[in-house]
Amino acid sequence: MEDLREHYSKETLNEKDLSSSPFTQFEKWFQNALDSRIKEPNAMILSTLGEKDIVDSRTVLLKGLEQEQFVFYTNYNSDKSKQLREHPNCSLLFLWLDLERQIRIQGKAEKLDASKSDEYFASRPRGSQLGAWVSDQSSRINSRDELEAKLKEVEQRFEGKEVSRPEHWGGFAVTPNHFEFWQGRPNRLHDRLVYEKEGSIWTIKRLQP
């Protein structure tokens, strides 16, 4: 592994090219990722603080950037949800290796309004809706067969009916207070530009690589 090397040289990141708003800058880079046809460009690593102050990380999907909040959906009984209720401070990480780019975000999470969760749930494929009822996320299960049996039971329960949103499933909205935009550069002298919120103003600074 020590011999693995990548030479980063595709783009640069200069202050003069940066938007004054980190949200506008994020949308610009996200559109670049979409245009580049990167697989799952909305995949982001969510890190939370768990029991005994152990940091826990997993990948979730960004489903909206609304009113300067990053929105994702999950099971409210999952480990991540329990951790966010206990410690709402969290971080998000977008890694787009094909573009030699990374965005780190720090912020505070809160449960999304139920009506917003209802609206998004109604837009999901039926299979995903049923899955939200089937999975007791993060809880132990004895076998895959048991999970498949639960699915059949739920399919029968909602046969010929619309699938309603379970109360234990919904969204979180993360309000950022810190962004770091990272662009790979030659010789490991990468560009790192940081936005930090001071009151209602976003300030920008460059960090050494």
Q: Enumerate the domain spans of the chain.
A: 15-124+168-207
Q: What is the pLDDT of residue 91?
A: 98
CATH fold group of domain 15-124+168-207: Pnp Oxidase; Chain A (2.30.110)
Q: Look at residue 191 in the predicted model and tell me its pLDDT.
A: 98
Residue 199, SS3 per DSSP: coil
Low-confidence ranges of the chain (pLDDT < 50): none
C-alpha dist (Å) from residue 24 to 30, 65, 179: 10, 11, 12
pLDDT at 137: 83
Give percent of the chain with pLDDT exceeding 70. 100
pLDDT, tens digit, 9 for 90 and up, residues 72-115: 999 999 999 999 999 999 999 999 999 999 999 999 999 999 99
pTM of the model: 0.92
Which sequence positions are flagged as catalytic?
188
Structure tokens of 114? 């139920």
